Amino acid sequence: MSSEKNPLSPRIDKNGNLDILIAAAECFMEQGYHAASIDDVARRLGSTKGRIYHYYRSKTELFFDVHREGMRRNFEAVTPVMKGPEPAAQRLSAMFRRHALSMMENLALEAVVVQGVEMHRFSATTPEQRRTLAELMTVRNDFESLFKRVAYEGVEDGTIRTSDVSVAVKVALGAINWLSIWYRPRPSETRDDREILADKIVESIMQGLNAPG
């Protein structure tokens, strides 16, 4: 992935801990952050708690790294299509489409990203936790900025129309992020099914609901 716009920690996967992050994300998604324990994560992994504590001192640290990996995949999905000779509306559509697919295909990780945003407001965190959350929020704002930048390019090249780029991008990202609340894959679902859903979401965002004329 492009490292230019991504200030995230590079330690993910170097230590072979990606399966820990996925198992933890699934536990956090299904049980909620507060109810899930390191024991639950170990059980899901079929490993010992010791293996998890080798990488993470606490559940909070684990949660933050899941959040980082979810955001890393968000950046990885959209940055390759940001730039190019196409009109900005076309590039922005491709970014939304890839973000929607990434939400569906990394559902547990991305549900934790949404939980992380919620947690940002909670007071029951230590100063160190608050610093980490602030860092994660900065990354989140950087992600939103990628979309705003291309939307502004679209206002300039005449392919995007909006009275407020910032609100329009928040509306579009909210629509996509809301997938973490309602989307659950059907057992027989294929990549094609997900692409059809992503196309419908992008259609709604780009065309709106009003019939033309």
Of residues 83, 75, 134, the one with CA closest to residue 106: 75
Q: Among the candidate windows 7-15, 18-26, 70-78, 118-126, which touches a second copy by CB under 8 A?
A: 118-126
d(CA 169, CA 3): 23
Residue 209 found at the interface with a second copy (CB under 8 A)? yes
- Name the one residue in this structure whose structure tokens are 């999905």: 77
Of residues 87, 76, 77, the one with CA closest to residue 206: 87
| Contact pattern from residue 151 through residue 170 relative to a second copy, giving x for each residue in contact according to CB under 8 A and a dash for the rest | x--x---xxxxxxx--xx-x
The 3-state DSSP class for residue 211 equals: coil
Give whichever of 17 and 23 is closer to a second copy, judged by the CB atom: 23
Residue 29 found at the interface with a second copy (CB under 8 A)? yes
d(CA 21, CA 28): 10
Residue 38 found at the interface with a second copy (CB under 8 A)? no
Output the smallest distance, CB 54 to a second copy, in A.
27
| Contact pattern from residue 48 through residue 77 relative to a second copy, giving x for each residue in contact according to CB under 8 A and a dash for the rest | ------------------------------
Residue 117 found at the interface with a second copy (CB under 8 A)? yes
Give whichever of 16 and 212 is closer to a second copy, judged by the CB atom: 212
Distances (CA, A) of 8 to 66, 68, 124: 12, 7, 24
User: Which of 20, 24, 104, 179 is in the footprint of a second copy by CB under 8 A?
Assistant: 179
Q: Among the candidate windows 10-18, 59-67, 126-134, 179-187, which touches a second copy by CB under 8 A?
A: 179-187
Contact 100, 198 (CB under 8 A): yes
Residue 181 found at the interface with a second copy (CB under 8 A)? yes
Q: Among the candidate windows 9-17, 42-50, 72-80, 150-158, which touches a second copy by CB under 8 A?
A: 150-158
CB contact set of 19 (below 8 Å; sequence gap of 6+): 45
DSSP code at position 16? S
| Contact pattern from residue 72 through residue 111 relative to a second copy, giving x for each residue in contact according to CB under 8 A and a dash for the rest | -----------------x--x-------------------
Contact 109, 203 (CB under 8 A): no
Residue 171 found at the interface with a second copy (CB under 8 A)? yes
Residue 212 found at the interface with a second copy (CB under 8 A)? yes
Residue 188's Cβ-side half-sphere holds a number of Cα atoms within 13 Å equal to: 0
